[in-house]
Structure 1
Amino acid sequence: MAVTQQIARISAGYLADCRRSAGESPVGDPHWDPSPWDTLDLDWAPALLGRVCELAGLDGIRLDALRQATDGDTVLDLGFLSTHPHAIGPFGPAPTALSAAQVARVSELLGQMDMPAILAALPADDTQAAALIGFGADMIAGGPRKYLLEPFDALREFYLGASQRNLLAVLWWD
């Protein structure tokens, strides 16, 4: 099974309930089980998206928003989600999160990004584009443009939904 980027949009109350459950459980079980409708699997797209945006010369503010959308932040204490044997993302770095305010800002900035225009800044030849991108882009069936548009659109819609519902985001690799 491949390790891929996962994101869940949850309420602050749900996170508090998980923290409380982990504290009360003799084995630290947070009972982490966000709704499938509020989770997103970004596959291996985050590094590729970041690299494409760098190559296109995306401004620092929006590039930082994309990085936050895929890397999270360390503002919220999520140590209880990293406790064995109930750790989420045991194959990657510790889970990170974005507060509802951070989610709203990220959503706003992702909404300002024109991914088709960003992808159009790549060389027209998929082999050349993949060589510039790196990160295994040369192995993507159908080419990097086709592959990257879908996860970016999903990411933007995911954060828009989280922002509209005043939810926070938890990110991990699993």
Structure 2
Amino acid sequence: MAVTQQLARIPVEYLAACRQSADASAEGDPFWDPPSADVLDLDWAPVLLERVCELGGLDDVRRHALHQALDGDTVIDLAFLNTPPHAIGPFGPAPTALSPAQVALAAELLDQIDFPALLAALPADQATAASLIGNGAENIAGGVTAYLLEHFTALREFYRTASQRPLLVVLWWD
């Protein structure tokens, strides 16, 4: 089973309820089970998305926003989600999160990224573009640019919806 990046948009109250469940459970079970409509599987796209933005010359402010949207922040204590046997991300770094205010800023800045233009700056030949991107991009079936556009669009929409509701976003690798 491959390890992929997962994101969940949840209300602050849901996270508090999970924390309370973990504290009350003898096994530390947070009963973490966000609705599937509020979970996004980014597959292996995060590193590739960041690389395209670097290659395309995206400015530092938006590159940082993308990085934070993909890596989260450590300000919100999520240690209770990383406790065996109920850890949500046992194969990667500890889960992280963005507060609703951070989500709103990320959504605003992601909306300002012209990802098709960044992809257009890559070589038209898919094999050459994949080689330039690196990080296993050459192994993506169906073409790297279509894969990355699909995942960036999903990420942007995910954050836009989280911002509108206003929710926090929890990120982990599973």
TM-score w.r.t. the length of structure 2 is 0.99
**Aligned-residue CA RMSD (Å):** 0.6
1:12 maps to amino acid: V
CA distance in 2 between partners of 1:78 and 1:121 (Å): 39
> How far off its partner does 1:78 sit?
0.1
How many pairs align?
A: 174
Aligned to 2:158: 158
Q: Say yes or no: does 1:31 pair with 2:67.
A: no
> How far off its partner does 1:124 sit?
1.3
2:30 maps to amino acid: P
Name the SS of the counterpart of 2:34 in structure 1: coil
Aligned to 1:109: 109
CA distance in 2 between partners of 1:15 and 1:142 (Å): 37
> How far off its partner does 1:126 sit?
1.2
CA distance in 2 between partners of 1:121 and 1:143 (Å): 16
Is there any run of 5+ residues in structure 1 with no aligned partner, and where? none
CA distance in 2 between partners of 1:141 and 1:166 (Å): 35
1:25-60 residue CA offsets vs partner (Å, 9 max, x unmatched): 000000000000100000000000000000000000
Q: Say yes or no: does 1:73 pair with 2:67.
A: no
CA distance in 1 between partners of 2:141 and 2:4 (Å): 18
The ranges of structure 1 where at least 4 consecutive aligned residues each deviate by more than 6 angstroms after the TM superposition are: none
Identity %: 70
Aligned pairs (5 A) from 1:19-168: 19-168=19-168
CA distance in 2 between partners of 1:117 and 1:138 (Å): 21
CA distance in 2 between partners of 1:25 and 1:142 (Å): 45
> How far off its partner does 1:142 sit?
2.1
Is there any run of 5+ residues in structure 2 with no aligned partner, and where? none
> How far off its partner does 1:141 sit?
1.5
CA distance in 2 between partners of 1:112 and 1:139 (Å): 29
